[in-house]
Amino acid sequence: MRRRESRGFSPEGPVLELRKVSKRFGGVVATDDVSLDVSAGEVHALIGPNGAGKTTLIGQISGSVPSDSGTIVFAGADVTRKKQHERVGAGLARSYQITSIFRRFTVLDNLALAVQARSGSSFSFWRPVAREAALFDEARAIADEIGLSRKLDFPGATLAHGEQRALEVGLALATLPKLLLLDEPMAGMGPEESQRMIELIGRVRLRATVLLVEHDMDAVFRLADRITVLLNGRVLATGAPETIRADMQVRRAYLGDGLAA
C-alpha cells in the first residue's frame, strides 16, 4: 500500500479518455456519445439524477458492461475491448454502489485476497496462503487506512453498513489502482460515516486519480477538482465546481429541479 513504484504516469494529461462512448439496453439509451477526460491526480465527480447513466458509465469504464460504440483509453492504451480483470491489472479499479464484498470472508481475508490478486500468480495449489505473511501485512495496512483494523477477524456480513462501505473501497484500494472508480461510496451513510469516507477519499487522492459518482453534493463540492454533469446519458457540462454550481443554480431557476437529486 505504501509503495507506489511501478504506478508511474505523467502527472499532466488525462489518465482516462472516453470518446463518444454509448450503451443501449434494448430500446433504452443508458449512455449516449459520452466524451470525457479524467486528468491524472484529480478527483473528478460525476453527478446527475437517478437514471442519468452514471452507473452504466462506470460499468463501461471498468469493463463489466461492454460498450456498443466509442473508445476508452486508459493510461495511454485503448482498453475498449479489454476484459475487466485485464483493466484491473492495468490499474483501473472500482467500488460498487451496492456493497459487493466477500460476506463470509473475514475483513482480513477480504483484503488479503485483493492483495493476492495483484501480487504473483494465484495458480498456486499447494502452499497455504496463511504462510504468506507479506499478503496479510499489506492487508492489515489497508484495514488500518480504511479504519477497520479492529475488525480484522469479523466476517464481512457482520459489519455495520458504514464498515461494509469502507471495506468495499478497501477492496478496490488493495489492487493499487491508478484510477479509482467510486460508485456512490456514501450511499446510505449517516453524517459521521460520510465524514470519515470524505477523509478517506481525501487521503486516497494523494496516490490515485479518483472518478467519483456521488449524490451527496456536500461531499462532491468538498472533494472534486472538476465535475461532469450527466443527464439522460449525455454530458451536460464539465467544469470547475464553482462553474457547475453556478450553472446548476441557473438551470434550477429556469428549468426546475432535477439535477441535484
Residues whose CB is less than 8 angstroms from the CB of residue 29 and which lie 6 or more positions away in sequence, other chains included: 22, 23, 232, 233
- The reply on whether position 118 binds other proteins by CB under 8 A is yes
19 versus 118: smaller Cβ distance to other proteins: 118
| Rounded Cα–Cα distance for residues 57 and 64 (Å) | 10
| Backbone φ and ψ of 141, nearest 5° | -60, -40
Return the number of the residue (35 or 84) whose C-beta is nearest other proteins.
84
> 249: Cβ–Cβ under 8 A, 6 or more apart, which residues?
none
109 binds other proteins (CB under 8 A): yes
For other proteins, give the closer residue by CB, 171 or 189: 171
DSSP state for residue 181 in the 8-state scheme: E
Closest approach, Cβ 93 to other proteins, in A, equals: 7
Contacting other proteins (CB under 8 A), which of 16, 114, 186, 248? Answer: 114
Name residues contacting other proteins, limited to 120-179 (CB under 8 A). Answer: 121-130, 132, 171-172, 174-175
* Dihedral sign for Cα atoms in the order 91, 43, 207, 55: negative
What gap in Å lies between CA 39 and CA 135, rounded to an integer?
A: 31
Which among 86-94, 145-153, 210-218, 240-248 is the span making contact with other proteins, rule CB under 8 A?
Answer: 86-94
What residue ranges bind other proteins (CB under 8 A)?
62, 64, 83-85, 88-89, 93-94, 96, 100-105, 109, 112-114, 116-118, 121-130, 132, 171-172, 174-175
